[in-house]
């Protein structure tokens, strides 16, 4: 390990302290759900958008709003419904009778953290407006394009069970989410903690424990985290195996995977692994970092065949097979 990595390690160990502060502060109201909390933090550290999928009542919305309060960023919640219009997100042109001119009235996307609640309940026009914001970090109102705030992060939720009145997200939009996090039920002990803490009339208040400057400084450090060539090749091999499984001794997956991960999958794995290393106070990425985020990066990017759906094969199981088949660099 060279001197630069040692110096970076020391700097990250100091500047990553806010991760523990945020997790401690949000634990006042969020019991368990560590993967969801760390996933949202990874999004903040890399600028990656996050999709949270789970049945109602699992604190998805509460987690996002609590995280926004803890990091002191501006936050807007948009409830997606079938009658939502693009102007409800980006804003619209308003006629000013005094000046006789049109002026832009900016919508709720002009913030740092956007909670797109039940994102799959809005139609295609709304999704296309959101896609421009996610992809380009900008929106267009009338004939003028406006840059969005920095940082800008879309955290979306969707219910995997209800299909009535929903619109499946297009593949291009799904690919813009760095992670898809599947949110599960709490265990018995966590359920008891939730009962003890949230059944009272006085719900704990979340305090701001991080500044915008700390977040931006952390982002610049995450960019500098070292990924050696062997690990870069390992990440590329994982993505390639989703596209050409037969070349990796996984020919039986060819009838199950219609489309593999895009280059954004490779990029997202690198960024997410760096964020994972930062949260562990390290200036370098390990193979375990890559493994820990591979499912979250790939599960929504693998387009499965009808045969896979008929056999009830899940993308996580396919990612498991791919990870087991590719040699881990030493």
- Domains of the chain, each with CATH number or no CATH: 21-198 (3.40.50.300), 225-325 (1.10.8.80)
Average pLDDT over residues 86-103: 85
Q: What is the pLDDT of residues 270-308, one digit of tens each?
A: 999 999 999 999 999 999 999 999 999 999 999 999 999
Average pLDDT over residues 123-134: 88
pLDDT at 59: 75
Q: pLDDT above 90 covers what percent of the chain?
A: 43
Place 247 in a pLDDT band, splitting at 50, 70 and 90: very high
First to last CA, the chain: 15
pLDDT at 200: 65
pLDDT at 163: 66
C-beta contacts of 261-266 below 8 A and 24+ residues apart? 261/297, 261/298, 261/301, 261/302, 262/175, 262/301, 263/239, 264/175, 264/176, 264/301, 265/175, 265/239, 265/297, 265/298, 265/301, 266/235, 266/236, 266/239
Average pLDDT over residues 248-268: 92
pLDDT at 1: 47
CA distances from 268 to 10, 134, 181, 202, 275 (A): 25, 14, 14, 40, 10
Dig out the tokens for 235 from the structure: 């990440």
Contacts (Cβ under 8 Å, ≥6 apart) of 269: 235, 238, 239, 290, 293, 294, 297
Give the three-state DSSP class for 196.
helix
Say if residue 3's pLDDT is above 60: no
51-60, 100-109, 135-144, 246-255 — which one is most confidently predicted on average?
246-255
pLDDT at 199: 65
């Amino acid at each position: 390990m060279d001197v630069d990595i040692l110096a970076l390690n020391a700097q990250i160990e100091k500047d990553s302290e806010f991760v523990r502060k945020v997790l401690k502060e949000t634990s006042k109201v969020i019991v368990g759900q560590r993967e969801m909390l760390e996933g949202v933090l990874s999004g903040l550290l890399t600028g990656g958008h996050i999709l949270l999928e789970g049945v109602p009542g699992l604190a998805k919305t509460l987690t996002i709003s609590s995280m926004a309060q803890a990091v002191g960023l501006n936050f807007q919640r948009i409830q997606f419904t079938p009658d939502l219009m693009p102007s409800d997100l980006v804003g619209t042109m308003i006629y000013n009778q005094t000046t006789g001119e049109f002026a832009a009235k900016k919508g709720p996307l002009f913030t740092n953290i956007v909670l797109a609640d039940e994102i799959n309940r809005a139609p295609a026009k709304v999704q296309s407006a959101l896609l421009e914001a996610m992809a380009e970090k900008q929106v267009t109102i009338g004939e003028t394009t406006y840059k969005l705030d920095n940082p800008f992060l879309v955290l979306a939720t969707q219910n995997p069970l209800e299909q009535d009145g929903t619109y499946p997200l297009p593949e291009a939009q799904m690919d813009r989410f760095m992670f898809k996090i599947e949110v599960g039920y709490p265990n018995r002990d966590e359920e008891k903690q939730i009962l003890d803490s949230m059944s009272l009339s006085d719900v704990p208040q979340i305090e701001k424990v991080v500044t915008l400057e700390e977040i931006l400084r952390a982002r610049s450090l995450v960019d500098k985290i070292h990924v050696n060539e062997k690990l870069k090749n390992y990440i590329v091999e994982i993505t390639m195996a989703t596209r050409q499984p037969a070349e990796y001794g996984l020919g039986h997956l060819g009838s199950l995977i219609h489309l593999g991960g895009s280059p954004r999958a490779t990029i997202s794995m690198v960024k997410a692994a760096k964020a994972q290393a930062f949260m562990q106070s390290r200036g370098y990425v390990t193979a375990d970092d890559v493994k820990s985020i591979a499912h979250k990066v790939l599960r929504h990017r693998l387009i499965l065949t009808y045969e896979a759906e008929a056999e009830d094969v899940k993308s996580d199981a396919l990612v498991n097979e791919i990870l087991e088949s590719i040699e881990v660099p030493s």
